[in-house]
Every structure is written in C-alpha cells, then in structure tokens.
Amino acid sequence: MVYTGSPEPLRFKRNSVNYIPSLSSDSVATGALHGRETVVGYGDLRGVIDKVVERVRMASEPNYSHIFWPRVDNVSHEVGTGHPDTLREVSFVDAELGRLAQLLPENATLVVTADHGHLDMPDQRKFVIEPDDPLTALLIDGPSGDERTLMFHVVEGQEEKFAAEFKRRFGDYFLLLSAAELLGPDGVSDFTLSRLGTFTAIARHDAGMKFRRTADGTGLTLNAQHGGLTPAEMLVPVIIAKPRGCSARYANCSG
C-alpha cells in the first residue's frame, strides 16, 4: 500500500462474508482487503448468488455479503471492451443481477459497482521496447507496474539521460514524473518510495508500453487496460437498489 489505512469492510460490525473466486480467494491481497476469516471461495456465479439469497433470507440480524466477479475484466483485457465476447459477459452478469434483485427480500439493499473501468489500446499506440534499446541500458531492471503506468528504477547517475531520452521519444504519449512529483513530499514511507523507483510514466490518452525482457519474448498482448488516469479507467457506476420482487417474510420467498 502507498498510504497506510484499513479498508472500510474490515470495520463493519455486522456479520460479513466475502465470496471471491477460488483461484484468488487465498491471495495476500484478498486477505488484506477483506480479512481472511471472512472469505469464501467459489466457482460459479449462479451458484454463489443462490447462496447469498439464502443467507440473506435466513438472517436474524443485519449482515453483509460481497460477491466479486472478475470475468468482465478478464475478457475485456484480452479482446477489448466492444468485442462480442465482452458484451456477452456483461449480458450474463446483467441477467444474474436481475435474478438476484428479484430473489432478495424487500428489506435488503443491493449495491453494484466496479473497482475500475477499461480503456482500449490501439495497435499503433502499443509501444514495445526491445532488450537492446538505449533506454533499457539505463535501467537496473525492467520496469514494474503495468502497460499504462510504468515504474522505472534508473541506474544511479543516469537519471537526467533517461528522462531526456524518454521524453524525447514518448513525451507525447506518457507523462514522466519522479516519485516526489507523483505523491508529494510528505506522508509516504521510504519503503514505498523505494518500490516506486526513480520515475513513473503515466500514459496519456490510450497508449501502452512494454519492455520486452528477451528478443523472443511477447509484446503488448492486452487489448484493454486500466492503469492510467483517464475517466474511462477511473470512473465507475454505483447502483444502489431496494429489491421489490420478494416478501420481507423470508419464509414466503421462493426462488
């Protein structure tokens, strides 16, 4: 984490369960965000919605259930936001959310949101830096981050040379900032600053960049990404609804 703090769900007093796909339910990030003791892994969205409906119906006190579903994100990365496969995933989630809203009791509250948006990256603005590129020679190792926001650890004494060369070639597509310019001088630990490196490059518009580690390595294969600062990547909807399709008397609800 860049700044210390506790995620809001960890402060909830009510009984909480977080349903996370099994492939990532035991990860360090999941434990930090939700509290490991509250996480339940699952495999099928339809099945976990049925579990949540039953949990809410049978509850004798206020409770909180969180379902994380990553398929829209995964497919968008691979094929882009407007691809039929992505739209198919969105339609599936939309239908399942409609079913959830119909089956929940009237005294439940349904909140739907996302953790980020997506931006398509056209092929002409996917920049691949080869292992023998002059910029690579100025780095201690390949950059961290992702294709839209890259963090560079520059060889000591080569900072000005790297910045000048990067801005000359890619200044129209990326904003290059030092850690101090990016986060300000106060409130950031030395450990965090060391991980951010010497410079951070943030993509302008719809550009992306990858430093290829070997000559036969892969290029920039993703068709959409969300590591930049455009509205498409940062702004997401928040929908808050009171279901009306089921009686508040749990015993009278039928799936």
pLDDT over threshold 90, residue 183: no
What's phi and psi for 195, nearest 5 deg?
-75, -30
**What average pLDDT does range 51-72 have in this prediction?**
95
Q: Which domains does the chain have, with CATH numbers?
A: 8-115+236-252 (no CATH), 123-232 (3.30.1360)
Distance CA 32, CA 103 (A): 31
**Longest Cα–Cα distance in the chain:** 73
| Mean pLDDT of all residues belonging to the chain | 89
pLDDT value for 255: 43
pLDDT over threshold 70, residue 246: no
Q: Give the distance, in angstroms, between the CA of residue 128 and the centroid of all CA atoms in the same chain.
A: 23
Both tokens of residue 43? 């495999």
Query: Whole-model pTM?
Result: 0.82
Distance CA 89, CA 124 (A): 27
Q: How far apart are the first and last CA of the chain?
A: 42
Distance CA 7, CA 11 (A): 7
Q: What is the band of 177 on the pLDDT scale with cuts at 50, 70, 90?
A: very high
Distance CA 229, CA 175 (A): 11
Sign, CA torsion 229/31/27/20: negative
Contact 79, 118 (CB under 8 A): no
